[in-house]
Amino acid sequence: MHSPDASTQGPLSSRSTLSSDGKTSIARSFASMPPASFAFVMATGIVSTGLKLADAELPSRILFVIAVLGAAILAVGLMIRLGRSFGDVMADLRAPARAFGFFTLVAAANMLSTRFDLFGWRAPALTQAVLGALLWFILTYAVPTQLLFAERQRSIIEDINGSWFLWAVGTQSVALTATMAARVYESALMAAAAVGLWAVGVALYLILATLVTIRLLLHAIEQEPLSPTYWIYMGATAISVLAGAQILHLPSELPVMAATAPIVSGISYMLWAL
């Protein structure tokens, strides 16, 4: 009997090792995936939508495909993380500086819903809108609850950063898809829901702006905490104005529009002025 040739075993063994190392590296990357990872999908979808509205069809479609592929990969990664590192996910939910990053899930789902609607693809648009609303409902209760009841050694106010505005961004993204549904399905109920969600988003924006300002004024500011998350302050303002503007395009004869149109218009204008 001849022993297996070492020259044959070597390459096979090397390829097996490389494959194993690659899988381990991917699994490790997913295990450490930050809560705000879906910001990639959200941002790419926004640019794709903007290009579509500017009649730049080809780059819009390319970015849309990238956004969908990114969403699929990140969704798989999130499922793997939930299965393998559930404790780390819960730790993120209890961390004030990271917890609100999960609301990028909501904004990403609703951004894809809006983009699907521009294609005229009603079924996937509705599916993403329902998913976004469901995620928003779950996270709106889960994140504040985990933060309030988590054991900590210092005040939660010290760890507040701009990522908290993602709560308002996610809420306004749900208001946008509710407005879209009200327009497509001519639903007075969805119109009322859109106005209500927009109002909740504005209230959250004002509350969060107050909390972030208190944190910046009352606690020492170091270089590290001044992260790019504070740019979300302006993003939350912009999407609140956008949601209000879209609501104002709903039929004026709807009961909720007759009752609230001047308020929506006035507050949207003031937010735009900011």
Q: What average pLDDT score do residues 82-95 get?
A: 89
Give pLDDT, residue 155.
78
Report which DSSP code applies to 74.
Answer: H
* Confidence band, pLDDT 50/70/90 cuts, at residue 5: low
Summarised one tens digit per residue, pLDDT across range 210-240 is 998 888 888 766 655 556 777 888 889 999 9
> Taking the domains of the chain in order of start, what are their residue ranges?
17-273
For domain 17-273, give the fold: Glycosyltransferase (1.50.10)
Higher pLDDT, 251 or 22: 251
Give pLDDT, residue 206.
95
Q: What average pLDDT score do residues 53-74 get?
A: 93
Contacting residues for 194 by C-beta, under 8 A, at least 6 apart: 175, 176, 178, 179, 181, 182, 243, 247, 250
For the cut 90, the answer to whether the pLDDT of residue 192 exceeds it is: yes
Residue 92: closest CA among 146, 159, 156, 138: 146
Give pLDDT, residue 50.
87
For the cut 70, the answer to whether the pLDDT of residue 6 exceeds it is: no
Which range is most confident: 43-47, 88-92, 118-122, 199-203? 199-203
Higher pLDDT, 152 or 232: 232
Which range is most confident: 23-27, 136-140, 230-234? 136-140
Q: Say whether 223 sits in a helix, a strand or coil.
A: coil
* Confidence band, pLDDT 50/70/90 cuts, at residue 13: low
Give me 145's structure tokens.
Answer: 């609850």
Report which DSSP code applies to 230.
Answer: G
Report which DSSP code applies to 198.
Answer: H
Which range is most confident: 41-55, 153-167, 186-200? 186-200
For the cut 50, the answer to whether the pLDDT of residue 93 exceeds it is: yes
The region of weakest confidence among 15-29, 72-86, 156-170 is 15-29
Which secondary-structure segment (H or E) carries 145?
A: helix 122-149
Q: What average pLDDT score do residues 68-75 get?
A: 95
Average pLDDT, the chain: 87
Give pLDDT, residue 18.
47
For the cut 90, the answer to whether the pLDDT of residue 1 exceeds it is: no
The reported pTM is 0.86
